[in-house]
């Protein structure tokens, strides 16, 4: 049974963490192959499952150490039908995977008896297509029909919420929010932007957030920005109605563009100290932010520095 679906604890404004760039960490720092960058493919294998558990336990321990809540992600970003053919699986396989992924993170939560603050189970959904280079424009109704399948699977579990992570189009985000609304599942939208601070469609971050809110009667619990370096979007942030809808950041360590990252054969893990200082600077101008983690190129080192740098604001 879900613990927090009826009231997400992070909406209180208290300090929460997420994890980091799981796939880039496991691939580049630990030498673990991940088929099609789909982390759920590790779950059926003992070694892969152990690697996922070890990775997530690091963030569970960090949250406990910092007296922070934790948004504990499922590895389901690519566990939806768009990727079935390339992964060589059926839709029924994907349904089972989504259920298994939530059972997995739920078991980790149950083991975390040292954490005083809430651990929120988060079902992650990804965009229909390449988050770095979206192939097609997805209309809102089409997106609602498409994402209803995976969100429906997740709603059958004890998951507390879902996050539409690394979304590139406001219309697709509208569809995902509507799909979650149909099954009364809290939903967060996390957009990614290019080096100019705009979505890959050319839409500004503010325009995208307003479009989703207007089309869904403010249906998203809140918004986030992920898979972009702070330098890429900080100039877009200001104290405005749409910016106050942003509650969390999961930034890349690298300043490289998505196109450049796609071609990288070595990890660009940036500078954890510098990244933490940039989070602090953003928090100074957006003091309502309270959910912090990392994305591509980041690992436990980066989120540890971020956590210890910003936690004083929540004392």
pLDDT tens figures, 37-85:
999 999 999 999 999 999 999 999 999 999 999 999 999 999 999 999 9
Q: Using a pLDDT cut of 90, give the percent of the chain over it.
A: 89
Question: Range with the lowest mean pLDDT among 115-119, 190-194, 235-239, 258-262?
Answer: 258-262
Residue 189 CB neighbour total at 10 angstroms: 29
What tens digit of pLDDT does each residue of 96-110 get?
999 999 999 999 999
Q: What is the pLDDT of residue 262?
A: 67
Calpha distance 155→256 (Å, rounded): 36
Nearest to 164 by CA among 152, 176, 180, 181: 176
The answer to whether the CB of 123 falls within 8 A of the CB of 159 is: yes
Q: Which residues of 143-181 are buried (b: 16+ CB within 10 A; e: fewer)?
A: bbebbbbbbbbbbebebbbbbbbbbbbbbbbbbbbbbbb
Does CATH number 3.30.365.10 belong to domain 15-314? no
Rg (CA), the chain: 18
> Nearest 10 degrees: CA dihedral of 45, 50, 53, 57?
-170
Q: What is the pLDDT of residue 132?
A: 65
What tens digit of pLDDT does each residue of 273-291 get?
999 999 999 999 999 999 9
The answer to whether the CB of 309 falls within 8 A of the CB of 277 is: yes
pLDDT at 227 over 90: yes
Nearest to 173 by CA among 229, 214, 232: 214
pLDDT at 136 over 90: no
Q: What is the pLDDT of residue 167?
A: 97
Dihedral of alpha carbons 166, 227, 237, 124, sign: positive
Q: Which residues pair with 292 in a beta bridge?
A: 17, 249
> Nearest 10 degrees: CA dihedral of 218, 224, 226, 230?
130
Q: To the nearest whole number, what is the mean pLDDT of the chain?
A: 95
pTM above 0.85, yes or no: yes
Q: What is the pLDDT of residue 1?
A: 79
Mean pLDDT of 155-159: 98
Mean pLDDT of 190-199: 96
Q: Using a pLDDT cut of 70, give the percent of the chain over it.
A: 98
Local structure of residue 198 (DSSP, 8 states):
B
pLDDT at 133 over 80: no
Nearest to 4 by CA among 75, 109, 100: 109
């Amino acid at each position: 049974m879900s613990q927090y679906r009826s009231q997400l604890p992070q909406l209180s404004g208290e300090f929460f963490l997420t994890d980091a760039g799981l796939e880039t960490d496991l691939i580049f720092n630990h030498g673990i192959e991940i088929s099609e960058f789909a982390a759920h493919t590790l779950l059926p294998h003992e070694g892969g499952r152990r690697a996922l558990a070890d990775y997530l336990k690091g963030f569970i321990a960090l949250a406990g150490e910092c007296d922070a809540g934790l948004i504990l992600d499922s590895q389901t970003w690519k566990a939806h039908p768009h990727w079935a053919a390339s992964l060589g699986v059926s839709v029924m396989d994907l349904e089972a995977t989504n259920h298994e992924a939530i059972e997995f993170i739920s078991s980790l939560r149950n083991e975390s008896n040292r954490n005083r603050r809430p651990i929120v189970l988060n079902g992650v959904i990804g965009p229909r297509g390449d988050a770095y280079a979206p192939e097609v424009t997805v209309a809102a109704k089409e997106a609602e029909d498409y994402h209803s399948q995976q969100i429906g699977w997740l709603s059958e579990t004890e998951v507390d919420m879902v996050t539409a992570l690394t979304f590139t189009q406001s219309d697709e985000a509208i569809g995902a929010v509507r799909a979650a609304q149909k099954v009364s599942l809290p939903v967060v939208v996390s957009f990614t932007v290019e080096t100019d601070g705009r979505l890959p469609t050319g839409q500004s971050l503010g325009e995208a957030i307003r479009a989703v809110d207007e089309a869904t009667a403010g249906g998203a619990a809140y918004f986030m920005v992920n898979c972009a370096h702070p330098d890429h979007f900080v100039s877009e942030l200001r104290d405005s109605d749409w910016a106050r809808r942003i509650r969390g950041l999961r930034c890349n360590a690298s300043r490289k563009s998505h196109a450049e990252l796609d071609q990288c054969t070595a990890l660009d893990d940036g500078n954890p100290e510098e990244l933490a200082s940039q989070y602090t600077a953003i928090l100074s101008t957006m003091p309502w932010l309270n959910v912090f983690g990392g994305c591509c190129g980041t690992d436990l080192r980066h989120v540890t520095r971020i956590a210890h740098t910003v936690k004083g604001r929540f004392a």
